[in-house]
């Protein structure tokens, strides 16, 4: 019974250890689920960073286009300044031409007045006046040509002004895109910092989950020595490892649950056998008490029959009493033999139950060791 009690206590300890192990497995499962959530967040952050990378590339292209536009705008500005100078010169020439035109009109009037007043025979005066008119006509034609050139230049200047305004609008758009790119870069930096933080938390969870500090340190060195984009790849690898470890933990948990169930069944079976053995023990104690009582009564009657030796009637009575006492004693001896047989059978049953229970406990302990 003491050995059985010790075995039951050991079995209870094993069950408590199994319960603690189940709690630890549940805790590991929660940590694994947290790690899965964080890895999913890291994957989402990776996708967001990929989108951010594409946006940055597009913004870089737009910035390059903006730089080209800025160069073109600078070139157009120089051309516009040249055209402005030419336009100013043309305006000055136009004003000069207007003055010359007025002078020519005044000169024409004077020539007409001179022709009306001069002597018809004064050919010298007429000749001089004709030469001066021809000279003024040439100057007027030159001014007309310059005026046409000035008009063409004005049209070109208006066209260049429109192009300059378009380029100014594009520059404003480029400035807005540049500001947006700077904001996107700030967001990317914040995402990168968050990813680094997430990576550290994942490494800590990996350490807790696998309980392998050396491997975690190696992973940390590899993660810190790689580029930011490889961090997410490393996180994906760790996610696969974590998934594999989680599957192993679940398999181990199922095995432990099966072993725990087997141990619980063995414990219930042991409890039933112990109850049965206790009932058999009580029955055995009752039989022993009955055996002692019958033996004491038989011994008392035998002693009484030996003391009765007076008279034939007394002898007869004594013989009858002795015979009846012997018969009763024989009956009691048979009862004692039956009690001994019952005790022997109970002892054998108890020994077999102990051996079977010991075998089951050994099997359970071997399973726990595995």
pLDDT in tens, the chain (370 residues): 788 888 888 888 888 888 888 888 888 888 888 888 888 887 888 888 888 888 888 888 888 888 888 888 888 888 888 888 887 887 888 888 788 888 888 888 887 877 676 554 445 555 565 677 678 778 778 877 877 877 777 777 777 778 777 777 776 776 777 677 677 667 767 766 776 776 677 677 667 655 544 444 444 444 444 444 555 566 666 667 767 776 776 776 677 667 666 666 766 776 677 677 677 777 767 777 776 787 777 777 777 766 655 444 544 454 555 455 556 656 666 666 676 666 666 666 656 554 544 455 444 444 444 3
What does DSSP assign to residue 182?
H
CA-based angle 361:367:370, to the nearest 5? 145
What does DSSP assign to residue 115?
H
Check residue 135 and give its pLDDT: 80
Question: How buried is 339 (Cβ within 10 angstroms: 0-12 exposed, 13-18 middle, 19+ buried)?
Answer: buried
Query: 135-165 as b/e, with b when 16 or more CB fall inside 10 Å?
Result: ebeeeeeebeebeeebeebeeebeebeeeee
Q: Where are the domains of the chain?
A: 29-253, 256-369
Query: 12-40 as b/e, with b when 16 or more CB fall inside 10 Å?
Result: eebeeebeebeeebeebeebbeebeebbe
Check residue 358 and give its pLDDT: 47
Which class is domain 29-253? mainly alpha
Rounded Cα gap, residues 30 and 324, in angstroms: 82
CA dihedral 20, 21, 22, 28 (to 10 degrees): 110
**What's the pTM value of the predicted model, to 2 decimals?**
0.29
Q: Which two three-digit tokens encode residue 85?
A: 């100078």
Check residue 301 and give its pLDDT: 74
What does DSSP assign to residue 212?
-
Check residue 223 and give its pLDDT: 45
Check residue 346 and give its pLDDT: 61
Query: Are 256 and 18 contacting, i.e. CB atoms less than 8 angstroms apart?
Result: yes
Question: How buried is 209 (Cβ within 10 angstroms: 0-12 exposed, 13-18 middle, 19+ buried)?
Answer: buried
Check residue 215 and give its pLDDT: 46
Check residue 125 and give its pLDDT: 52
Query: Are 201 and 38 contacting, i.e. CB atoms less than 8 angstroms apart?
Result: yes
Q: Which two three-digit tokens encode residue 339?
A: 């009690």
Rounded Cα gap, residues 202 and 38, in angstroms: 7
Rounded Cα gap, residues 338 and 345, in angstroms: 10
Check residue 366 and give its pLDDT: 44
Rounded Cα gap, residues 135 and 126, in angstroms: 14
CA 30 to chain centroid, in Å, comes to 13
Q: How many residues does the chain have?
A: 370
CA distances from 71 to 85, 149, 171 (A): 21, 29, 11
Closest to 63 measured CA to CA, from 206, 194, 180, 188: 180
Rounded Cα gap, residues 46 and 100, in angstroms: 78
What does DSSP assign to residue 211?
-
């Amino acid at each position: 019974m003491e050995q059985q009690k010790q075995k039951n206590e050991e079995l209870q300890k094993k069950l408590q250890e199994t319960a603690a192990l189940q709690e630890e497995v549940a805790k590991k499962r929660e940590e694994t689920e947290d790690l899965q959530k964080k890895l999913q967040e890291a994957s989402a952050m990776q996708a967001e960073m990929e989108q951010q990378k594409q946006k940055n590339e597009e913004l870089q292209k737009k910035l390059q286009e903006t730089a080209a536009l800025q160069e073109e705008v600078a070139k157009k500005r120089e051309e516009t300044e040249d055209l402005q100078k030419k336009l100013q010169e043309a305006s000055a020439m136009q004003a000069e031409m207007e003055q010359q035109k007025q002078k020519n009109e005044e000169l024409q009037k004077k020539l007409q007045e001179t022709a009306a007043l001069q002597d018809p025979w004064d050919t010298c005066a007429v000749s001089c006046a004709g030469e001066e008119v021809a000279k003024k006509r040439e100057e007027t034609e030159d001014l007309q040509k310059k005026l046409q050139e000035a008009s063409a230049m004005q049209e070109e200047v208006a066209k260049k002004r429109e192009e300059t305004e378009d380029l100014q609008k594009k520059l404003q758009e480029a400035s807005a895109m540049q500001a947006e790119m700077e904001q996107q870069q700030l967001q990317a930096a914040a995402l990168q910092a968050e990813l680094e933080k997430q990576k550290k938390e994942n490494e800590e969870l990996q350490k807790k989950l696998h309980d392998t500090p050396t491997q975690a340190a190696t992973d940390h060195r590899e993660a810190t020595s790689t580029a930011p984009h490889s961090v997410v790849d490393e996180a994906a690898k760790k996610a696969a490892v974590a998934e594999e470890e989680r599957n192993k933990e679940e398999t181990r948990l199922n095995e432990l649950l099966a072993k725990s169930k087997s141990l619980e069944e063995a414990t219930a079976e042991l409890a039933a056998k112990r109850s049965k053995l206790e009932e058999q023990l009580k029955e055995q104690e009752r039989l022993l008490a009955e055996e002692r009582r019958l033996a004491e009564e038989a011994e008392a009657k035998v002693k009484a029959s030996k003391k009765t030796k007076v008279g034939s009637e007394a002898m007869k009575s004594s013989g009858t009493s002795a015979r009846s006492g012997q018969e009763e004693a024989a009956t009691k001896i048979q009862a004692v033999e039956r009690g001994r047989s019952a005790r022997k059978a109970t002892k054998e049953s108890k020994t077999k139950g102990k051996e079977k229970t010991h075998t089951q406990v050994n099997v359970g302990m071997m399973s726990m060791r595995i």
